[in-house]
Structure 1
Amino acid sequence: MKKLLLLTALCAAWCAQAQKPNIVGRVTCKGKPVAGVVVSDGELVVRTDSDGRYAMSSSKPCGYVFMSIPGGYETAADGLIPRFFGYTTHCDLDVIDFQLEKRSNDNFTLFVSTDTHLRGDPEELDLPQFRKWYLPDISHEIERTKGPVYSLHLGDMTTDIMWHKNDFALRKYLDVMKTYPSPVFHVPGNHDNERFVDPAVPDAQWDSIAQRPYRQIIGPNYYSFNLGKVHFVMLDNTVVRKGALKNGRRPSRNDYRLDERQLRWLVRDLETVGSGTPLVVCMHVPVADWTGIGSDGTPEFSARENQRALHDQIMPLLAKFDDVRLLTGHNHRFINIPLTDRIFQHTLVSASAVSWKINGPESRLVSEDGSPGGYLILRYRGGRADWQFKPNGYRADRNQFRVYDLNRVPGEFGGQPGSNRCLINVYNWDERWTVRVREKGRDLKVEQVWAKDPLYILIRRDALPTRPTAFRAVANPHMFSVEASAPDTPLEVTVTDRFGRKYRQTVERPKQFDWRTE
């Protein structure tokens, strides 16, 4: 009996020691405590008490802790990176405090970019194009925007295979972005991980090793924060796996899903959020894609094979929320899908179009769906969202669509000579946009079609003549076809977005088709 009591006492002492907090800290604003702030080590989720203090007994799985910035506050930034996290050590006790600054941000503007794919390549000239088209354009828009302004990057800031070939990795990305005028909340893309891991490392450890540079240089690869009344969840949905041996090296391969620890954290984070809170989930890879036009004339979508695991992880967790917005990239083209009546997926065209590769004599930055490279401006007023696409180097109020006179487009580029038909590519279209075309004062029938963009096919052919199968045009449903009565009648095209903004263009026909087509 004495031995049993002694053993019980020793077990109790060991448990007490094991549960003793090894990460503690305080969240303050100008020296005053901020209660109720969510803090996490990437698995455990706790809140600060009335004195602004938090504590956790952590295995330190990610090497840092982060706070979920509460609405009505901001943090200072280290250059581009908001200071919402702190790195842990191997010491018995880490003390990590956070400072907040009050900011009335119920109304705010977000500048959302994806797939900048910087790599310092002397042949493809990504940096000159980036500095000519993207950086001055978005900087100007940010600087002229009133009120609180923040930025999001949805991943693929860099290009993993060029980390070593061109010595251009994440630190170089931060150097290039030094003049960017707002803090940026990042998520990693599949090209923001170390591509070459020691082949002797077991497959189960590749993801942790591959994401280490990102965590050390950019910060947490998943986390959350609040702006005003809106809760943001930032996810890393690339799991890096050991690839097949190739030319004596073993590059990585990717699964598009959440790892188990991140999934557990996500469940706990969402438990801190009420179902009526507007929710924005930011991640690199989308959960669904367009698949065609159905027999009823409306676009159809589904999760593709490499998206299925991610879709099945994410969607059940979002079902309880009234208003969910997914912000994604990866595909370099627009895919705006109402997944349910309460969950809307935005997939943005890339800032780099086709990773700056289609850089012909006139540097037309056009992506595989025909959309120009650019970024999204997302405005929140209270919990209500409004957004608009901003093409690099062009005015947003005049450049939301492009019209082709298919009489003048050769058949090899999707033209229909002699048909008197026109094709309208409405880049950021979703189901609540309308397209109206008038000829001689009468409305023409507008048909939504599954088609490829003629200009992109032309530019890709001319810019990459030795690579006929690379970066092919992708069919999409944001195309609209009309038939005119004659080959030389002008058309009045009016496109109206879901917020009532009207974009108009008078199309004089015949309309020339070449690199300069607008």
Structure 2
Amino acid sequence: MTMSQKRRTFLKSLGLAGVGVTLTPNLLQAQPRKPVRGKDLSIVTLSGKVQANGKGLAGVAVTDGYNVVLTDASGRYELESNATAEFVYISIPRGYDFPNEQRVARFYRRINPDRGRFKADFTLQPLAQDDTRHNFVVWADPQIISEADAAELKTKTAPDLKQLVGSYPKDTLFHGVGCGDLVWDKFELFEDYQQALAIAGIPFFQVIGNHDMNLDARTDDGSAEKFKELFGPTYYSFNRGEIHYVVLDDVFFIGTAKKYIGYLTERQLAWLEQDLANVKPGSTVVVNVHIPVYTHQHRRNKEKEEPMGGVVANRRELYRILKPYQAHIMSGHTHFNEKVFEGENIIEHVHGTVCGAWWTGPICFDGTPSGYGVYEVNGSDVQWYYKPTGFGKEHQLRIYPVGAVPEKPEHLAVNVWNWDQAWKVEWFEDGKKMGEMQREIALDPLSVELHAGTAKPAKHKWVEPQLTDHLFFAKPSASAERLTVQVTDRFQNIFKEEVRLKDLKLSQR
């Protein structure tokens, strides 16, 4: 066949013969150009085995961040994924130690496919004891921006946690959650954060915060690059005892430095539905995020709208997914302490921070001491308290002198930072029971002393006191000499402090 005949046959196949189209030999030989930029969506098959003591573990959840599968009777799994998946990881089952390196939890493998396949095996170590009873802590916002801040974390907070763990019976199981803003935009300080975890001595799981993100990313997808390099996926789950723990990334970067909103992506919500499909309804689920799912701050400040970067905009869908469970939500970000209840099955613990008011002194800007949450688990039951750094766990209130709050010149004030509606705050005058104190929204007097005004605190002059709803007031009589405040928490633990009114003054405790 001649070249002319070949060309005519080709044109017929295109339906162009007889319309006067002429194609040069060079054009006939041209190849389509590949796109300059684009995502690789090719299929990647993930496979491997989850085992302990050389024996496969059945029913372990394995995920690529999109879909979840369970290991078979021999501990093997296979998962059809795609080239956009970054990690393959497991939901560590109950009864097993948390794999870690220098106390940083390692439950994942970064996917590096070869000819469309990637194999990842996971080996777990059985715990020496039953984990039905265990404890965990939540470190919200270490937020270190300098070597001086890092030194505070390593010489005060980490040893405080180590001492707390040591105060429990030997071999008590503990783990921690770094609840975001592990550093303050200074990625070189992640090493100091990890050193603090090693000092504290318990395994930690990490949550990404808005100050842990790559601020030069063009979209949210790239904002977690450094975090993933150091700590793995930004959303995942694990188990201990009867509790199912979940970590989510609710900080959505909008492409402009330091601009973000509280938002859960469709990918995470779809993954969470699959993850919880393997959890029995009625179980206790602990969800860890950085930005609070909700707070009442805008109501206290009499603002008409919720802060876009202060709560999760699409939280109703999260609440719907959690409805079959007894859920606790752990959050930070705000640098104040608050309890938020959603229906009968969800309580959110908005934590006071490890760094207080950004390492400017001993308290957050609502008067809550710098510290962290401690949670004691027995079966599906969870009890908790707030642990002020440098003080015993019995330190749960601070008493202020009469007139410390200008709007209440004849009243004594008390800050009960971990208060919720199930608590009781009573007062006694010279041994006589006077009843319950009255709760009102106001500024904490010590925060006013340390933070109010453009000149202070010297380290970060923009820090200002914030209204809180865990201040309580009582009006003592003119003849009163001694006053006692007795606080009973929801677990019937009693905390009591007695003061001589004439000796009472602002205290940095």
| TM-score bin, normalised by smaller chain | 0.7 to 0.9
Alignment counterpart, residue 180 of structure 2, candidates 142, 151, 155: 155
Any gaps of 5 or more consecutive residues in structure 1? 1-17, 244-250, 359-363
Q: How many Å apart are 1:468 and its aligned residue?
A: 9.8
Other-structure match for 1:107: 133
**RMSD, aligned CA:** 2.5
Pair 135,468 (structure 1): closer, same or farther in 2 beyond 3 Å: closer
Alpha-carbon distance in structure 2 between the residues aligned to 1:269 and 1:302: 33
Other-structure match for 2:468: 476
Q: Does residue 428 of structure 1 match 2:418?
A: yes
Structure 1 residues 119-518: aligned runs within 5 Å? 119-121=145-147, 125-146=148-169, 147-160=172-185, 162-163=186-187, 168-197=188-217, 201=218, 206-243=219-256, 251-291=257-297, 304-306=307-309, 307-321=311-325, 323-356=326-359, 358=360, 364-397=361-394, 399-407=395-403, 409=404, 414=406, 416-417=408-409, 419=410, 421-440=411-430, 441-461=432-452, 464=456, 470-486=462-478, 488-514=480-506, 516-518=507-509
Pair 35,257 (structure 1): closer, same or farther in 2 beyond 3 Å: same
Helix, strand or coil for the counterpart of 1:58? strand
Q: How many Å apart are 1:512 and its aligned residue?
A: 4.0
Alpha-carbon distance in structure 2 between the residues aligned to 1:119 and 1:159: 5
Q: How many Å apart are 1:337 and its aligned residue?
A: 1.4
Pair 212,152 (structure 1): closer, same or farther in 2 beyond 3 Å: same
Helix, strand or coil for the counterpart of 1:71? coil
Alpha-carbon distance in structure 2 between the residues aligned to 1:176 and 1:404: 34
When structure 1 is superposed on structure 2, of 83-92 and 276-285 the one drifting more is: 83-92
Helix, strand or coil for the counterpart of 1:116? coil
1:445-499 deviation line (CA, Å, top 9, x unaligned): 5211011100011011487267997221111111111111116521111001111
Given that 1:371 and 1:427 are in contact with CA atoms closer than 8 Å, whether structure 2 keeps it comes out as yes
Q: Does residue 89 of structure 1 match 2:112?
A: yes
Helix, strand or coil for the counterpart of 1:289? coil
1:50-80 deviation line (CA, Å, top 9, x unaligned): 0100001101434111100111222331112
Helix, strand or coil for the counterpart of 1:232? strand
Alpha-carbon distance in structure 2 between the residues aligned to 1:258 and 1:316: 13
- Matched letter for residue 434 of structure 1: K
Pair 131,170 (structure 1): closer, same or farther in 2 beyond 3 Å: closer
Q: How many Å apart are 1:416 and its aligned residue?
A: 4.4
Alpha-carbon distance in structure 2 between the residues aligned to 1:301 and 1:39: 44
Q: Does residue 68 of structure 1 match 2:72?
A: no
1:281-305 deviation line (CA, Å, top 9, x unaligned): 11011121125899xxxx9999655
Alpha-carbon distance in structure 1 between the residues aligned to 2:437 and 2:69: 54
Helix, strand or coil for the counterpart of 2:259? strand
* Identical columns (%): 27
Helix, strand or coil for the counterpart of 1:136? helix
Q: TM-score normalized by structure 2?
A: 0.85
Alpha-carbon distance in structure 2 between the residues aligned to 1:468 and 1:29: 50
Alpha-carbon distance in structure 2 between the residues aligned to 1:305 and 1:47: 37
Helix, strand or coil for the counterpart of 2:340? strand
Alpha-carbon distance in structure 1 between the residues aligned to 2:174 and 2:460: 42
Alpha-carbon distance in structure 1 between the residues aligned to 2:305 and 2:426: 28
1:363-384 deviation line (CA, Å, top 9, x unaligned): x411111010001110101111
Larger gyration radius, structure 1 or structure 2? 2
Helix, strand or coil for the counterpart of 1:266? helix
Given that 1:41 and 1:60 are in contact with CA atoms closer than 8 Å, whether structure 2 keeps it comes out as no
Alpha-carbon distance in structure 2 between the residues aligned to 1:115 and 1:221: 16
Alpha-carbon distance in structure 2 between the residues aligned to 1:330 and 1:291: 12
Given that 2:150 and 2:189 are in contact with CA atoms closer than 8 Å, whether structure 1 keeps it comes out as no
Pair 469,128 (structure 1): closer, same or farther in 2 beyond 3 Å: closer
Alpha-carbon distance in structure 1 between the residues aligned to 2:175 and 2:481: 46
Helix, strand or coil for the counterpart of 2:313? helix
Q: How many Å apart are 1:444 and its aligned residue?
A: 4.3
- Matched letter for residue 503 of structure 1: F
Helix, strand or coil for the counterpart of 1:178? helix
Given that 2:429 and 2:480 are in contact with CA atoms closer than 8 Å, whether structure 1 keeps it comes out as no
Pair 21,209 (structure 1): closer, same or farther in 2 beyond 3 Å: closer
Any gaps of 5 or more consecutive residues in structure 2? 1-40
